[in-house]
Amino acid sequence: MEERLQSAVLPAQTLPRPKILVVDDTPANLVAMRRLLSKIDAELVMVSSGNDALAACLDHEFALILLDVQMPDIDGFEVAGLLSGEARTADTPIIFVTAAFSDDVNRLRGYHFGAVDYIAKPINDVILQSKVRVFLDLYRGRQELQMLVAELDGRNRQLEIEITERRRAEQEVRHRATHDALTELPNRALFMDRVEQALQRADRQRSHVGLLYLDIDGFKPVNDKLGHHAGDVLLQQIAHRLRGAIRKSDTVARLGGDEFAVVMEDAVEGPQAAQQLGEKLLEVLAAPYALDLGLAVPVPVNIGSSIGVAIFPDDCRGATDRREALIRAADAAMYAAKQSGKNRVLLAS
């Protein structure tokens, strides 16, 4: 609480000293005004004509203008009218200091041109100082409020930045929890969730789901011969090729090591569609690789893949846990593909 109070008081301590513009074409009156206002905590700017008053308002921001009406070039009414028509000075309070307000007509005319008050000559020093202090207090209060609002806006902007950064960090944490750090593909946890969602949609839409399990043939020799960094680079290129070979509605995930899986939703033609996708992935993955390992030239690498395909609901009918049954079927088909010569696609059925 004390800290907030200190923060609220701080802007008042940094406010610039307010300025008062005094306009009178009689030098003796200017001298008298300076003497009367000498105890006021404000900077005085003294000018002797309407034109000089307008020029001063271009260079300064005034808390108050004490304006004589009777002047030879531009009278006080014209000066007040011009100032009230400018956005920068429209809200600057003007007190007319003149004997011309001795009748109501001139008073109304003065208010029409933007005067907020008037002081009749001869000037009563107590009345002058009292009214000036009132308007200076209003000005300081307005300035303090503006500074507090500006400070609050700054804090709000900082808070928005912190909230955005926190949301970004939370999103990054969620992403890391569900994606493989090396390939940025969905990891096993997200893969399992995507399979379950796909099966539920297939139930509602009476459609098929194809599940493809992939194991990379020839990955271990690359890892052993060229090192783990080369293996990582190869896995990243494999992930890139797999992402580009499937539809946006499908999911490719890295299950671990050199094993990948693809969830093929809405497989309209059932086993045939999944078989075709498997053949396509075989061709995509078999194309030569060039690994950038920081050497003079990229290192050429060739691999293959063994792919097992299972279809929902065909390959998990009657199972208590259909997701696990479908995964086991695809995994068994992939193992059979490796055992029967590798670099091929086998259907679980």
Q: Domains in the chain, ordered, with CATH?
A: 2-149 (3.40.50.2300), 188-347 (3.30.70.270)
The structure's pTM equals: 0.62
Handedness of CA 141, 147, 148, 150 (dihedral sign): positive
Q: Is 154 helix (H, G, I), strand (E, B) or coil?
A: helix
Cβ atoms of residues 278 and 347 within 8 Å: no
> What residue type is 163 in one-letter code?
I
29 φ, ψ (degrees, to nearest 5):
-70, -35
Annotated catalytic residue, options 52, 217, 258, 315: 258
Burial class (CB in 10 A: 0-12, 13-18, 19+), 345: buried
Q: CA angle 85-91-108, nearest 5°?
A: 70
210 φ, ψ (degrees, to nearest 5):
-100, 135
Q: What confidence score (pLDDT) does residue 12 get?
A: 43
Distances (CA, A) of 332 to 151, 172, 321, 339: 66, 35, 17, 10
* Average pLDDT in the chain: 88
Alpha-carbon distance of 60 to 20, in angstroms, equals 10
Crossing angle, helix 2-13 and helix 125-178, to 10 degrees?
130
Q: What confidence score (pLDDT) does residue 2 get?
A: 46
Alpha-carbon distance of 111 to 103, in angstroms, equals 13
Contacting residues for 80 by C-beta, under 8 A, at least 6 apart: 67, 94, 96, 110, 113, 114, 115
Q: Which of 61, 59, 41, 51 is nearest to 136 (CA)?
A: 41
Q: What confidence score (pLDDT) does residue 142 get?
A: 87
Q: What confidence score (pLDDT) does residue 97 get?
A: 83
Q: What confidence score (pLDDT) does residue 112 get?
A: 63
Parallel, antiparallel or unpaired: strands 19-23 and 209-217: unpaired
Contacting residues for 8 by C-beta, under 8 A, at least 6 apart: 148
Q: What confidence score (pLDDT) does residue 111 get?
A: 63
Q: What confidence score (pLDDT) does residue 77 get?
A: 85
Residue ranges of the chain with pLDDT lower than 70? 1-13, 100-115, 268
Q: Is 258 in the active site?
A: yes
